[in-house]
Amino acid sequence: MSEIISVRRRRLVLGLGAGAGSLLLGGCDRLSSLPQTQSVLLSAQWLTRGAQRALVGRDSLAPEYTRADIAPVFRANGTLDPDNPQYQALAANGFKDWRLKVDGLLESPKEFSLDDIRSMPAQTQITRHDCVEGWSCIGQWTGPRLRDVLARVVPKPQARYVMFFCADPMDHHGDYYYESIDMRTAAHPQTLLAYALNGERLPIKYGAPLRLRLGRQLGYKMAKYVMHIRLVSSYRPFGQGRGGYWEDQGYSWYAGI
């Protein structure tokens, strides 16, 4: 089955790219000035998902960079400090009482403390973050691979998607930021649950205490302030049914780069 990548994204990339460029902090680039990204994003607008996958290679590794490439100031975007009293209380106590709940279609539901997560074998990778608004930024991220965390809870064969529920409310009706990826993206070696940026504990504006990092998808997929992970067979029952907060506003569920 083919799926046309949303036309709305083209408008965002082409329309906002120029304007957003003038607002950038040092060390972050306009996406449109990077020829490789530009051609991939442009091609994604009219290729079917199947053709795009064949061209870009969903399972291939995103480029990794050197320390010299790290942006002096990583740009923060979206929620910068969740307007949520429970989250604020957890933050005030250094996230000692924070627990990552992992449940759904798996054999052994678990709750992980931050120390549990920090004691797992970690990856450190310097990768580029590409936002749909037309900017990109290179940073160094550290945390366990999602697939290693999932191995501890033992997914059932019916599990097709990983849902991420976040601490930041997005409106006054009790809707929170959320996202979803499929098991194939969850198993990718560059899919991390990151607790550090540039060697420091993740600051609040970048999603403390834990956020998702993907090698090959756009920024909005990378949920910050992750509180709860659930394995599901379908993302339709959640939110407006399109798999994520921005998807519910019309963005494409698959945001490959």
Ligand X SMILES: Nc1nc2c(c(=O)[nH]1)N[C@H]1C(S)=C(S)[C@@H](COP(=O)(O)O)O[C@H]1N2
* 17 is an interface residue for Mo ion by CB under 5 A: no
Which one among 43, 77, 123, 198 touches ligand X, defined by CB under 6 A?
A: 77
**Nearest to ligand X of 168, 247 (CB atom):** 168
Cα–Cα dist 13/33, whole Å:
12
Residues 204-223 binding ligand X (CB under 6 A) are 205-206, 219-220, 222-223
Between vectors from CA 247 to CA 160 and to CA 62, what angle results, nearest 5°? 65
CB 34, CB 63: distance < 8 Å: no
**Nearest to ligand X of 155, 245 (CB atom):** 245
* 123 is an interface residue for ligand X by CB under 6 A: no
Cα–Cα dist 257/249, whole Å:
20
For 148, the 3-state DSSP assignment is helix
Cα–Cα dist 16/39, whole Å:
17
Q: How many CA atoms lie within 13 A of 190 on its CB side?
A: 19
CB 181, CB 57: distance < 8 Å: no
**Nearest to ligand X of 152, 203 (CB atom):** 203
Interacting stretch for Mo ion, rule CB under 5 A, among 37-45, 123-131, 135-143, 187-195? Answer: 123-131
Size of the site for ligand X (CB under 6 A): 18
Cα–Cα dist 98/117, whole Å:
11
- In the shown chain, the binding pattern of residues 140 to 179 toward ligand X, with x for contact by CB under 6 A and - for none, equals --------------------------x-x--------x--
Question: Least distance (Å) from ligand X to the CB of residue 46?
Answer: 23
Binding site for ligand X (CB under 6 A): 75-79, 129, 131, 166, 168, 177, 205-206, 219-220, 222-225
